[in-house]
Chain A
Amino acid sequence: MSEKARTIELEVLRYRPEQDSEPLWQRYTVPFTEDMSVLQALQHIKDDIDGTLSFRWSCRMAICGSCGMMINGKPELSCQTFLRDLLPGPVRVEALAHFPIERDLVVSVDGFVKKLEGIQPYIVPKVPRTLEEGEYLQTPAQLAMYEPFSGCINCMLCYAACPQFGLNPDFTGPGVLALLHRYNADSRDGAREQRMATVNAEEGVWSCTAVGYCSEVCPKHVDPAHAVNQNKVNSAKDYFLRWLKPAAAAPSKAGDQP
């Protein structure tokens, strides 16, 4: 209770396209408490020091995926990153790497969402079933095949961590490939063949150079690197199957899933 009035410095990379020709650093001093997150520090700046600082946030509990940013050079959720772990400061905060900055800490999400929309991120039933017939049966083991990859909160930290995405913005990238794998690995789904086109494409899994930093920064332990690797195996199998029996990989045939 009787904590002395301590403070900590934040250096924030500012960019306001209506007035700045290039980004510039701005320094703020904020109160420090043991339980304060970087997000709370930014909120303090916005509320009480400088209302012009722009950033996205909402849930405060690492589930909405809004508040990703670079904190001391590392992609993090600002709500889940605590000032106590960054002492003595200053704490350097900037927009997520590899994305165009719209303003201050706000980056463009459009490219990511377009990629997500492009992979058929929904169940295409392998066996149609009416609602009257009830739910599909899915054992805990079948659930475990895809559930870990369904936990992606679309925070895009893995893209900021991915050197290949930094070089080639067209790379489908870890998060979306993990989501693609989530649907391909779902026992209810029958569209694996169609999605393999994305996997096999030049911007698909083969752009990945297996650095693995994406999985390290994932705040939800989704392990996109593992999803990408599994799809490299699938893609290679797909490639050889095309040579061996070209019809097997055609979308018109039923998939080869167990």
Chain B
Amino acid sequence: MAMERFKADVVIVGAGGAGLRAAIAVAEADPRLSVALVSKVYPMRSHTVAAEGGAAAVTQAHDSLEAHFHDTVAGGDWLCEQDVVDFFVEQAHRELVQMEHWGCPWSRMDDGHVNVRAFGGMKIERTWFAADKTGFHMLHTLFQTSIKYPSIRRFDEHFCVDLIIDDGQAQGVLAIDIASGRFTLIQAKAVIIATGGAGRVFRENTNGGIVTGDGMALAYRHGVPLRDMEFVQYHPTCMPGTGLLFTEACRGEGGFLLNKDGYRYLQDYGLGPAEPTPRNKAMELGPRDRLSQAYWHEKQKGRTIDGPHGPVVHLDLRHLGERKLRERLPQIYELAVEYLGVDPAKAPIPVLPAVHYTMGGIVADGRTASSMPGLYSVGECSSVGIHGANRLGSNSLTELLVFGKVAGQEAAARASAVAHGDDAALTALAERSREQALAVVEHGARGTERIATLRREMAQTMEEGCGIYRTGATMQATCDKLAELKQRYRKVHLDDGSRVWNTEWLLAIELGYLLDVAQAMAHSALQRRESRGSHQRLDGYEQRDDLNFLQHSLATHAGDDAPRISYGPVKITRSPPGTRAYGAAGEKAEAERHAQEDKHV
């Protein structure tokens, strides 16, 4: 089968919020530059669609960039790149206004200004929202706006199987047209990866089936390190059994978390005092890592409620009343009624933590450039440095916009400055990648290992070893298990030998991506001998260790061997590591911090 070829100035892999924003930025930077936008689904199916709560930017007069900076850095347990966080909080508002100009139906106040809501770990209300479908509206707004730009050529339902790297530089991608099974080599002078996270390496997760770490794995296999992969966010309020998300906005609007005694247990975990109305950075509006950890402790104490899918706690929204729930949380209302048979105006919703977000990703500088010339990354697949060891809710939707634009501008600048690579050399590389992808389906009939079996065993071992609390022994067992699964993966079996819409073929390739990303996570976790943010250990490393581990981990692919883990510095500009406290204790710590700063002035 012949290979198609397309020459673009910039190729973008992934057409969710980040990829679309980057594509628009290239088109606006220079309409003469051609953009190839590659997605394994239609853009509006991308997982940005499922984000619910909102997007953060300093908006109110009594708020400040400094406060957003400090919430983010402390929320990330000081593993953030502080200069990048500064840039992020400065650009955030402008980007959300841009979305407004493009038509995003932000919820409004009576006077017509955009409304903001409270969110976990944020000191002041600064989260813009479109009811509880913010990601959906942002994605559709960006997709529909992208149609304005004739220089953007979409490759919908094209599955990326490899990056084409020549002369040490990213020069294109190879993709399968899913409907025909044909391959297309897309040559480009700059490549942006915007493929989203990798939550599907875990069993119970909030993510769509497409969130399989594709771009992370591809960059990693070509020698680009994955940074801070041990930091995986558990969202505290998810649906038992499926892991589907009940947005943090449920708590932003005033929802309570209750244990089996109807007691607001978070007050026992340094988040109190319990008050009847939401107080920012306290109780239910604490950060996600702390809330998920509190669930774990309640379970140990036997204070959770037994459900058909294991122990749960209750998310109680009854006191908000049906009218407010229908206005502010309409999707949550329907999910609870249709999927659980629970009317949230009348009964509490059973919830538990599930994997939600990959804080780490492809190593990127503050301008989204990776360690490889020509290769950029943006969004959840990227580690640009704003989330540290724990992301604050509503920072990631804004991240897509702020850094999507940067990635587009940087890629455009490079595409204007460099020439296309050598056609023959790139074709030869693409042919080789094509052979490898075809081998998966050609050898599949002789294989003995079922895809789903390997995937389930991977997800199970990741949950056991890299869950909310971790120990050296369980993480080691997970690392060993993953090595075994990678061996067995070589004998993966396919029922389907066809080319047209062979989704089993794609699942097999995705499983390869997942296993690589899982290894990077598990080995990074094992080597981090401290507790920080979402990485919590129970085996003698319960404390944060700034002396040895105020560092980013870097996982480097090592062929069939386990990844090599090394460390790099964290950029600290003005916020030295401090006590991470919430509730009344947090307010006290903050007062002390201010007093310290005043003394220095």
Contact = CB atoms under 8 A, between A and B. Distances in A.
Contacts of A202: none
From B108, B110, B452, B502, name the one whose CB has the most chain A CB atoms within 10 angstroms.
Answer: B108
A181 B111 CA distance: 24
Contact of A134 (B44, B97, B156, B179): B97
B496 interface: yes
Q: Pick the 4 closest A-B CB pairs, nearest first.
A: A137-B112, A47-B452, A51-B495, A58-B208
A226 interface: no
A1 B307 CA distance: 8
Given A58-B45, A63-B136, A186-B103, A121 B144 contact: yes
Contacts of A188: 101, 103
Interface string A37-64: 0000000001110111011111111111
A102 B500 contact: yes
Interface residues of A, number: 60
Interface of B: 41-42, 44-47, 49-50, 94, 97-98, 100-103, 105-114, 133, 136-137, 140, 144-145, 147-148, 156, 179, 208-210, 241-242, 244-245, 308, 331, 334-335, 338-339, 450-452, 494-496, 498-504
A123 interface: yes
A200 interface: no
Given A61-B50, A64-B50, A122 B148 contact: yes
Interface in A125-146: 125, 129, 131, 134-140, 142-143, 146
A150 B94 contact: no
Contacts of A189: 103
Contacts of A58: 41, 45, 47, 208-210
A122 B104 CA distance: 10
A146 B140 CA distance: 14
Contacts of B451: 47, 51
A22 interface: no
A60 B244 contact: yes
A233 to B, nearest CB: 23
A122 B102 contact: yes
A62 B338 CA distance: 11
Contacts of A256: none
Contacts, number: 153
A102 B308 contact: no
Nearest to B327: A140
A117 B154 CA distance: 12
A8 to B, nearest CB: 18
Given A60-B208, A122-B103, 8 more contacts: A35-B308, A58-B45, A63-B136, A116-B144, A135-B97, A136-B100, A154-B42, A186-B103
A192 interface: no
B97 A54 contact: no
Interface string A54-87: 1111111111111000000000000010000000
B595 to A, nearest CB: 35
A104 B334 CA distance: 30
Contact of B133 (A35, A123, A151): A151
A35 B338 CA distance: 10
A59 B50 contact: yes
5 contacts: A46-B503, A51-B451, A61-B50, A123-B103, A142-B112
Contact of A61 (B109, B156, B244, B502): B244
Given A60-B209, A60-B244, A54 B502 contact: yes
A103 B180 CA distance: 10
A17 interface: yes
A186 B494 CA distance: 50
Given A52-B498, A60-B209, A122 B97 contact: no
Contacts of B98: 131
A64 B135 CA distance: 11
B388 to A, nearest CB: 27
A139 B110 contact: yes
A137 B98 CA distance: 14
Contacts of A52: 495-496, 498, 504
Contact of B101 (A19, A121, A125): A125
Contacts of B46: 64
Given A59-B47, A143-B105, A51 B501 contact: no
